[in-house]
A and B are shown apart, each in its own frame.
Chain A
Amino acid sequence: MALLEIKDLSIQFSTDEGVLHAVDNLNLSVDQGKTLCIVGESGCGKSVTARAIMGLLPIPPAKITSGSVVLDTKDLLGLSEKEMRALRGNDIAMIFQDPMTSLNPVLTCGYQIQESLHIHDKITKKEAKEKALALMKQVGIPEAEKRFSEYPHQFSGGMRQRVMIAMALSCKPKLLIADEPTTALDVSIQAQILELLGTLKKSSDMAMIFITHDLGVVAEIADEIIVLYAGTVAERGTTKDIFNHAAHPYTLGLLESVPHISKEQEHLTVIPGTLPDPTDYQPGCRFYERCTFHSDLCKKDPVEEEITPGHRVACFHYRLKDQQY
């Protein structure tokens, strides 16, 4: 059975311009020990989904109009704030994109790691400190004893992200949500953090939802991938399905519009146009206007079709993929 199962999740925001459809009828599940990557461009609803799982959406203006988020047979959307607090940091933990703004600047990093242990595990301060130090060593912070009493501004970006990871891991969560954890970091530091997350994954059976816009990072870390476009799923499958047998025109376009370092490319393929206005979606496929294959058929809402077991595509024309995109 899946560890986390999201069914028919729809999230709206009420804005001055009208109702914004952030996520529409999203289904997904994550198994224990697996990494699910949610890929998409800005505004596709990937971060909103993560926040909905954590119960961190500002309600209002956000509104969950339908669906369920079930973790281990418990529906998270029906929980009270108190029950959710007990779960957050304990069963599910989250790391954010910008480690500086998600750490408290006036508390030492060591204190912030030990705080969650103290709250959830009901252990003495001394034990909590020992555990916090062990965590800092585990995530590769050198001179942990000395750095325990330093403040976030004394840490570099990569080290701060390690502190965030140590905090997230402190209560051995079943599910870790990482929302663009390496986007703000330099490539050489990003490689360190990805390596760390990879080894942590191997040494425990924690599930991970990894949110990113960078297809390169996805290729390195994912077991399964969901490609989101304008709040709906365009394509889903294993890493191999997506990178070797991509079928949705959007996925194909994304893969080809990225410059490769080891490949000779004359010209970058471009997805024409821009994202549709999320307050004014037309019925039918949301990729319609930017898609080279579109036909009248696409004015109906596409449903996800299974091409091979586990590989699903929401497109009427996916078979055209062998033609030149």
Chain B
Amino acid sequence: MLLTVKNLKKYFPQKSGLFSKPALPIKAVDDCSFTLEKNEVLGLVGESGCGKSTAGRCILRLTEPTAGSIHFDNRDLLALSSGELKDIRKTMQIIFQDPLSSLNPRMTVGGIIEEPLIVHHRGSPIERKEAVAALLDKVGLPQSALNRYPHEFSGGQCQRIGIARALALKPQLIIADEPVSALDVSIQAQIINLMIALKEELSLSYLFISHDLSVVKHISDRIAVMYLGKIVEIGPAQQICLDPLHPYTKALISVIPEPSLHRSQKKTILQGDIPSPARPPSGCAFHTRCPVAKEECKKREPILEEKRSGRSVSCLYVNKKV
């Protein structure tokens, strides 16, 4: 097991006024547990505000988790000192959503890709230049890119630069936070294919965070669906998409617009908005929008448990058939 996340919690405190009641914290991630194996892709999906990005940032300790444990390569990430953390971060990297704003506009592309190598004292200047040239090749950029600046490149090319930078230290785990959401459709396919090819070639593991379930399904081995800071369903990608068990996953999949005129599924349109994560509903957090909610759902909180082999669902009314 490469990565084991247990009972991860991240609460963001809110400021309250001088005389008002203390404000409730925003429960961005509330008791999430998942694992990631070597050379596996785990997709983390959910709508905005469900805590998927926060979970990703907690793993890298870019955001300090409130509680829980994160084990990477059998080392407890939360117990590390800052020096040890810097050391272990060589093996885990992140790719961001906005390709242009995540690159320093004053640095050349060569400088951007070389920087992680300098920070971690890897190789002599000549070796580093060679490494950078090889990385450019790997992500499909011309060598002429070396001395140019990020603004001279299109969105898709900037994302390739971001990927090259993430690969520079030969990481084992890459956390990709909505890496293709800002790109045009035709470019999106290029980047997805590149990421799949790199994963095979370098035996990487991805935590692929996205709101787009069709993209996640394409790249992931397993998918975890989040709602209001909690994982509601986790299991193999194909099974989740073709035979979802949790009512939220079911509804989410049924409303994904598909570029074809042959729709078999009937749409289940969820009513209302996503509740505030500061005041999640009692019992099952989804009961306010759930089309099949019963009285019991308001009172009792479901736990994420295995309902089919390899598939866990957090719903009181999904029967166990293991």
With A259-B214, A274-B157 in contact, is A188–B193 under 8 Å at CB? no
Taken together as a complex, chains A and B put the C-alpha atoms of A239 and B258 apart, in Å, by 13
A305 at the interface (CB under 8 A from B): no
Contact B186 A214 (CB under 8 A): no
Taken together as a complex, chains A and B put the C-alpha atoms of A163 and B213 apart, in Å, by 28
| A-B pairs under 8 A by CB, number | 117
A216 at the interface (CB under 8 A from B): yes
Contact A274 B156 (CB under 8 A): yes
**What is the chain B residue whose CB lies nearest that of A140?**
B271
Q: Which of B85-93, B167-175, B247-255 contacts A (4 or more CB under 8 A)?
A: B247-255
Taken together as a complex, chains A and B put the C-alpha atoms of A23 and B172 apart, in Å, by 46
A187 at the interface (CB under 8 A from B): yes
B192 at the interface (CB under 8 A from A): yes
A66 at the interface (CB under 8 A from B): no
**What is the chain A residue whose CB lies nearest that of B187?**
A274
Contact B217 A188 (CB under 8 A): no
Contact A259 B192 (CB under 8 A): yes
B202 at the interface (CB under 8 A from A): no
With A191-B269, A195-B269, A213-B184 in contact, is A258–B193 under 8 Å at CB? no
Taken together as a complex, chains A and B put the C-alpha atoms of A269 and B270 apart, in Å, by 33
With A186-B48, A187-B47, A191-B267 in contact, is A261–B253 under 8 Å at CB? yes
Taken together as a complex, chains A and B put the C-alpha atoms of A192 and B190 apart, in Å, by 31
With A188-B252, A259-B218, A270-B190 in contact, is A219–B261 under 8 Å at CB? yes
With A186-B274, A187-B211, A268-B218 in contact, is A255–B259 under 8 Å at CB? yes
Which A residues touch B188, using CB under 8 A? 257
With A188-B270, A192-B269, A213-B184 in contact, is A260–B255 under 8 Å at CB? no
Query: Min CB distance, B208 to chain A, in Å?
Result: 12
Pick the residue among A220, A243, A257, A275 that contacts B189 (CB under 8 A).
A257
Q: Mark A227-261, 1 if CB is under 8 A from B, else 0.
A: 00000000000011001100000000111011111
A189 at the interface (CB under 8 A from B): yes
Count contacts on B: residues with CB < 8 A to the other chain: 41
A282 at the interface (CB under 8 A from B): no
Query: Min CB distance, B237 to chain A, in Å?
Result: 11
**Which of B186, B192, B256 has the most CB atoms of chain A within a 10 A radius of its CB?**
B186
B292 at the interface (CB under 8 A from A): no
Query: Min CB distance, B255 to chain A, in Å?
Result: 4
Contact B269 A187 (CB under 8 A): no
Contact A187 B252 (CB under 8 A): yes
Query: Min CB distance, B102 to chain A, in Å?
Result: 19
Taken together as a complex, chains A and B put the C-alpha atoms of A239 and B261 apart, in Å, by 8
**What is the chain B residue whose CB lies nearest that of A195?**
B269
Contact B264 A262 (CB under 8 A): yes
Taken together as a complex, chains A and B put the C-alpha atoms of A284 and B276 apart, in Å, by 54
B245 at the interface (CB under 8 A from A): no
B273 at the interface (CB under 8 A from A): yes
Contact B193 A270 (CB under 8 A): yes
Which B residues touch A14, using CB under 8 A? none
**What is the chain A residue whose CB lies nearest that of B217?**
A261
**What is the chain B residue whose CB lies nearest that of A258?**
B259
Taken together as a complex, chains A and B put the C-alpha atoms of A262 and B187 apart, in Å, by 22
B20 at the interface (CB under 8 A from A): no
A82 at the interface (CB under 8 A from B): no
A139 at the interface (CB under 8 A from B): no
CB-contacts of B211-249 with A (<8 A): 211, 213-215, 217-218, 238, 241-242
A156 at the interface (CB under 8 A from B): yes
With A186-B47, A187-B211, A243-B259 in contact, is A257–B251 under 8 Å at CB? no
Given contacts A216-B256, A259-B192, A274-B187, 6 further A-B contacts (CB under 8 A): A187-B47, A191-B269, A215-B185, A243-B259, A244-B261, A259-B217
9 CB < 8 A contacts A-B: A159-B273, A190-B255, A191-B255, A240-B261, A257-B185, A259-B192, A268-B193, A271-B190, A274-B187
Q: Give the 7 A-B CB pairs with smallest separation, nearest first.
A: A216-B257, A215-B259, A191-B255, A257-B189, A186-B47, A259-B218, A41-B184
